[in-house]
Chain A
Amino acid sequence: MTEKNSTVSNTADSSIEMKETAGLSQGQLVRKRFFRHRAANISLAYLFLIVLFVFSAGGIHLGSKDAPFTIPGWWHLTINDMSQVSITHSPSGQLLIGAPTLDLNPFDGNGISVGAHPFGQDTIGHDYFSLVIRGAQQSIMVMLVVGLIGGLMGTIIGAVSGYFRGLTDSVLMRFTDLIITIPTVIIGSVIGSRLGNLGVFPLALFLGLFAWTGLARLVRGEFLTLREREFVDAARVAGASAGRIIFKHILPNAMGVIIVSVTLLLSGAILLETALSYVGFGVQSPDVSLGTLISQYQDSFQASPWLFWWPGFFIISIALSVNFVGDGLRDAFDPRQKRKLSRKDLAQAKQVEKN
């Protein structure tokens, strides 16, 4: 039964696949396959919305302490605003200190409302919504910077050593091995504990400087295979320079590997930053990150669980959607990937076989 099905689907597969791919460029094919991956699409949209929400609500804060450059967001409170802690009672009579005012239940008579402190207040009266938003901004920043720097360095080092081989390759790969032997947590803690107080940007910068190793190895492997292909020979015979061959001819073909592993780098970076901040080696005290928020309020889980749930929700949402987007991209870039055939396709294929 299964075997018969699989032969049918094999022939069906190839005919359907042929028809679908006729006359499309590589980029179009990838885009088409990516947009067929439902989970990845939803995740991409969701990620986009979270980033938009976080940065529009909290505003953008750049520049140094003395010369700040700020675009205010639509949320009126900041992480430094303090107000009286609200004291309410839950329906069961439990005392709630700084309870969230967010009300998403439309049927309780009050409708959906945001209230003064949608995510509640922390124990001394800060608005928790602005704290979480600020923390999420920091985590996203770290994620992007680490991804950018790690991605660039990994690609360039891997490409150069894979293309030139020989001595260059040996030196660069031994250097990569050297960085790989230093466990990420050690490097992160050493950097974080010494540079964390400089702000989130230098921290991310230095984490990125050590995050490229896995990518460099993958890119090198890819380049070693691709440089033996005919189109590279053709380019070389036509007189193209090494730089041109690397960037114009080989790199576009290795893009799949790079993009996929950069997304893994991104989700790894956000978890690394929160973990470092959690143990106190990441973002330092006046500033907040999602990790510091959880570490600060983990003991108040019994009394005020929202102080624990909201930062966790943002970490998981971001990491999860990045991972799903990465999965979708991997499928999209993999030419051998066969999609699941719908019932209609199978029926059609059977029809074709009969005739």
Chain B
Amino acid sequence: MLAFIGRRIAISFLILFGSSFLVYNMEAIAGDPLASLAESSARNKAYLISRLTAQLQLDVPPPARYFIWLKGVFSIFIGHLDFGKTRAGGSVLELIGAAVPVTLRLVTAATVLAIVLGISIGVLSAIRQYSRLDYSMTFVSFLFFSLPVFWIAVLLKQYFAIGFNDFLASGQVTMPFMIGIPLALGLIIAGFIGGERRRFWISYGLAAVGLFALLILLNLINWFQSPGLGIVLVFLFSAGAGIVIAGLNMGFEHKTARKAALTVAAIGAVLYYPFNLIPGEWLNLGLVALLGVISIVVGVFAAGAWAKEDRSALRRIGGLTAFFTGLILILDKLMQVWNPYVNSDAISGRPVPTISAANDLLSTNNYWWQLLDVLLHLLLPTLGIMLISFAGYVRYARSSLLEVMNMDYIRTARAKGLTERTVVVRHALRNAMIPLTTLIAFDLSGLIGGAFITEAIYGWKGMGTIFLQSVSNQDLNLLMGVFFLTSFLAVMGNLLADLAYSALDPRIRIGK
């Protein structure tokens, strides 16, 4: 095993060496960094050219210059990594160091959401193969698959940001939307409920009427201008989440599981007022994360206390329920600061931004305000990235699960008399997820460089932006820095994917 990993790493470095050599020379030969200077009409043109030549060592032919660059990279072994200098004279490493967190912030939420949503919808679509839901999800995922990201970004800006901000000015849902939203959403809800044609239309009608009534109610209490959930809804939502989690894990008929989940949700509701008393100024990301961890631990033990058997499953339910309860509490808190945030001078009533990563005008040390600001800036780019990468996961999850469902051991499991839930969740899903881990590992490694168009559109100064800049300025060192980091991560992701695959699937033996 160790020998295998060692050999793989050695080969990976050889590959990195080869590809960086290739890219360096391709770019060095194709793009002349002096071209823009040669065309300029500056009086000290000759001086500028000779200075840039000396600075970037352009007098050395590219293949040899590559090794000067490589020497800088290898000096990581003596403690300081050196990617050289940009044209402007700055350190490439510093630029990249500043860009990576920006990109990570942009893509993390989008990727996690895309994976979770994509896999769940793909699984649902496979379980109900050839149903209305399956056909419409196939169509939708193909549609998203074919959308150019820059095109959807313009649409999102227009309808989600500008349109939504205009709507917020009044805060009242107008009649066309009042009718249109229930009709459209009802279709989706009924599609997920499924069933025969009669049942479909009944659930459609009920959902549409219910949504219509809900919108009227929300209009009446002016909910969209000062939203909030309150303790009752917080409890109901977390109880609902808990029941679903318990049902998926141990079956909807399992009483202890349900009790355990409800206990955790009740604890969340009890903590509602204490949680709301904490001033936002005291909090920061670390503290909130700590609170989250504590609540998950509490959830694990509270649920575990119910256990006579299956302790670990109950604990899992408790932890997951606590996690979602915490999210709902945070959501409620954000809704409470929504109204003052929107009406503050920095925002002045137009909360959904179309550009940049944070509002510079906003000066506050209240954590919830900062969080809301960051989340709103993430909204459009996250939606754009998510819609497009989500489609791939739906397709993969669907075909992977369908493949597993045809296996003999699934028939055996059914023949033993196991419930359909156990067959799907325990037997099929686990095996269907194995090929997906490879995909996920590979995708995660491609994240850093993958969002360059989204970054350009929304004006985030991340890896993509500096990469585009480096290509158009013929800034070879900067380009190589970005390239090296992305391909290094790609190689490592590949290795991790292989290792994960062999760990999850005992039939795969590596290292032979």
Hey, which bits of chain A sit against chain B, CB under 8 A? 2-3, 39, 174, 177-183, 185-187, 189-191, 193-195, 267, 271, 274-275, 278-281, 291, 294-295, 298, 301-302, 308, 312, 315-316, 319-320, 322-324, 327, 336, 340
Report how far A39 CA is from B471 CA in the complex, Å: 41
Given A178-B18, A275-B149, A320 and B449 contact (CB-CB distance below 8 Å): no
A316 proximity list for chain B (CB < 8 A):
143, 146-148, 151
A sample of 25 inter-chain contacts (CB < 8 A) reads: A3-B414, A174-B14, A177-B494, A178-B15, A178-B19, A181-B491, A182-B19, A182-B23, A183-B450, A186-B486, A190-B471, A190-B479, A191-B30, A267-B145, A267-B146, A274-B150, A278-B148, A279-B453, A281-B471, A298-B154, A308-B151, A308-B154, A322-B146, A323-B145, A336-B406
State the Cβ distance, B374 to closest chain A Cβ, in Å: 25
Q: Determine the distance from Cα of A262 to Cα of B154 in the docked complex, in whole angstroms.
A: 30
> Chain B, 285-327, contact with A by CB distance < 8 Å: what is the 0/1 string?
0000000000000000000000000000000000000000000
Nearest Cβ in chain B — how far from A251, in angstroms? 24
Which partner residue on chain A sits nearest B486 by CB separation? A183
Q: A185-B452, A279-B468 are in contact. Are A298 and B150 (CB under 8 A)?
A: yes
Chain B residue at minimal CB-CB distance from A281: B471
In the complex, how many residues of chain B place their beta carbon closer than 8 angstroms to a beta carbon of chain A?
47
A186 to B158, CA, bound (A): 30
| Chain B residues near A191 (CB-CB < 8 A) | 30
Complex interface: chain B residues within 8 A of A281 (CB):
471-472
Closest chain-A Cβ to B20's Cβ sits at a distance in Å of 9
Measured between beta carbons, the chain A residues less than 8 angstroms from B482 are: 186
How many angstroms between the C-alpha atoms of A187 and B449 in the bound complex?
12
Asked whether B456 is an interface residue with its Cβ less than 8 Å from the other chain, the reply is yes
Cβ-defined partner of B420 (8 Å) among A2, A267, A302, A312: A2
Chain A residues contacting B19 (CB-CB under 8 Å) are 178-179, 181-182
Task: Collect the chain A residues with CB atoms within 8 Å of residue B467's CB.
Answer: 185-186, 189
Contact with A along B263-305 (1 / 0, CB 8 A): 0000000000000000000000000000000000000000000
Knowing that A271-B148, A319-B145 are A-B contacts, what are 18 other residue pairs whose CB atoms are under 8 Å apart, sorted by A's residue number?
A2-B420, A177-B11, A178-B19, A180-B490, A182-B23, A182-B487, A183-B483, A183-B490, A186-B449, A186-B486, A189-B471, A193-B471, A194-B31, A195-B30, A267-B145, A275-B453, A294-B150, A340-B130
Q: Which B residues from 229 to 265 make CB contacts under 8 A with A? A: none
Q: Which 5 pairs of residues, A with B, have the shortest CB-CB distance?
A: A319-B146, A194-B30, A320-B146, A181-B487, A340-B130
Q: Which of A181, A191, A279, A308 has the most CB of B within 10 A?
A: A181
Name the distance in Å between B21's Cβ and chain A's nearest Cβ: 10
Q: Which residues of chain B are within 8 angstroms of A320 by Cβ–Cβ distance?
A: 142-143, 146
Selected contact of B16 from candidates A181, A186, A274, A322, CB within 8 Å:
A181
Given the complex, which residues of A lie within 8 Å of B15, measured CB to CB?
174, 177-178, 181
User: How far is A312 from B158 in the complex, measured between Cα atoms in Å?
Assistant: 15
Q: Which residue of B lies closest to A194 (CB)?
A: B30
B27 is an interface residue with CB less than 8 A from chain A: yes
The interface residues of chain B lying within 8 Å CB-to-CB of A340 are 130
Q: A312 to B146, alpha carbons, bound, how many Å?
A: 10
Q: Are B148 and A323 in contact, CB atoms less than 8 angstroms apart?
A: no
Within 8 A of A (CB), among B140-170: 142-143, 145-151, 154, 158
**Interface flag for B22 (CB, 8 Å):** yes
Measured CA separation A39–B147 after assembly (Å) = 18
Query: What residue of chain B has the Cβ atom nearest to residue A271's Cβ?
Result: B148
B residues bordering A, Cβ < 8 Å? 11, 14-16, 18-19, 22-23, 26-27, 30-31, 130, 138-139, 142-143, 145-151, 154, 158, 406, 414, 420, 446, 449-450, 452-453, 456, 467-468, 471-472, 479, 482-483, 486-487, 490-491, 494
Complex CA gap A280/B142 in Å reads 27
Residues of chain B lying within 8 A (CB to CB) of residue A278: 148, 150, 453
Q: What is the bound-complex CA distance between A59 and B130, given in angstroms?
A: 42
Q: Is the CB of B148 within 8 A of A294?
A: yes
Contact A280–B472 (Cβ < 8 Å): yes
Q: Is the CB of A315 within 8 A of B151?
A: yes
B31 touches A193 (CB 8 A): yes
Q: How far is the CB of A199 from chain B (nearest CB, A)?
A: 16
- What are the residues of chain A within 8 A of B151 when measuring CB–CB? 294, 308, 312, 315-316
Asked if A279 contacts B154 (CB within 8 A), the reply is no
Closest to A180 in B: B490
Contacts of B14 in A (CB 8 A): 174
Name, among B148, B154, B414, the residue most crowded by chain A CB atoms within 10 Å (CB to CB). Answer: B148
B495 → chain A, closest Cβ, in Å? 11
Question: A324 to chain B: which residues have CB within 8 Å?
Answer: 142
Nearest-CB residue, chain A, relative to B11: A174
Which residues of chain A are near B486, meaning CB under 8 Å?
A: 183, 186
CB pair B449 A315 closer than 8 Å: no
Query: Bound state CA distance, A302 and B166, in angstroms?
Result: 14
For residue A182, which residue of chain B has the nearest CB? B19
| In the complex, chain B residues whose CB is within 8 Å of the CB of A179 | 19
Asked if residues A181 and B148 are in contact (CB atoms below 8 Å), the reply is no
Smallest CB separation, A295 vs chain B (Å)? 7
Contact indicator A190/B27 (Cβ below 8 Å): yes
B500 to chain A, nearest CB (A): 18
Q: Which residues of B contact A186 (CB under 8 A)?
A: 23, 449, 467, 479, 482-483, 486
Q: Which residue of A lies closest to B415 (CB)?
A: A3
Question: Which chain A residues border B16 with CB–CB below 8 Å?
Answer: 181
